[in-house]
Amino acid sequence: MGMSVTISAATEQDAEQILKLQFLCYQSEAALYGDYSIEPLTQSLDSLKAELADSTVLVARLGDEVVASVRGAVDTDGTARIDKLIVHPRMQRHGLGGRLLDAVEARLAATAGAKSFQLFTGHRSDRNLRLYRKHGYEPVSTERVDERLSLVTLAKSADVGAFVTSA
């Protein structure tokens, strides 16, 4: 009998697992853009623990193992900024990223009054862009960071009736 994946709020005890998973997951992004100095690969454990205290962080667990994570925070104008949606490579392409995205949106709408959602990804990150578009996000701007990377910001409004509060 297989185990099912559960989604819940992250705790400080999850910090090391999240950081290791983040390092693993962002290797492909770093390779895609030829830049291994990106913030997800250089973030410190203390910095991640501060995010756990100051924002909404969800994890997906398979048994005791953290296999996916996402972070989000709502600013004063009601815009929820979603960040670092990561799924272990062996768990990708099974809908877990979409489930986690839906869960963080629901949590941010219910607990922090999010009126809209915003996230970003690199312009060559086709799988990320497809996932976000599938979940209703539309590109709103593109910022050229350097000759290798442009960041695409995507956004959507919060439709409170569309959320299921299972997270």
Domain count within the chain: 1
Q: How confident is the model over 107-119, as pLDDT tens digits?
A: 999 999 999 999 9
Length of the chain in residues, anyone? 167
| DSSP-derived pairing of the beta strands 79-87 and 116-122 | parallel
Q: Establish if 167 belongs to a structural domain.
A: no
The phi-psi region of residue 95 (left if phi > 0; otherwise alpha if psi is between -120 and 50; otherwise beta) is left
Q: How confident is the model over 45-92, as pLDDT tens digits?
A: 999 999 999 999 999 999 999 999 999 999 999 999 999 999 999 999
Here the tokens at position 137 are: 């996000």
120 touches 90 (CB < 8 A): no
- 29: domain CATH number is 3.40.630.30
Domain span holding position 115: 5-162
Query: Taking the model in full, what pTM does it have?
Result: 0.91
67 touches 91 (CB < 8 A): yes
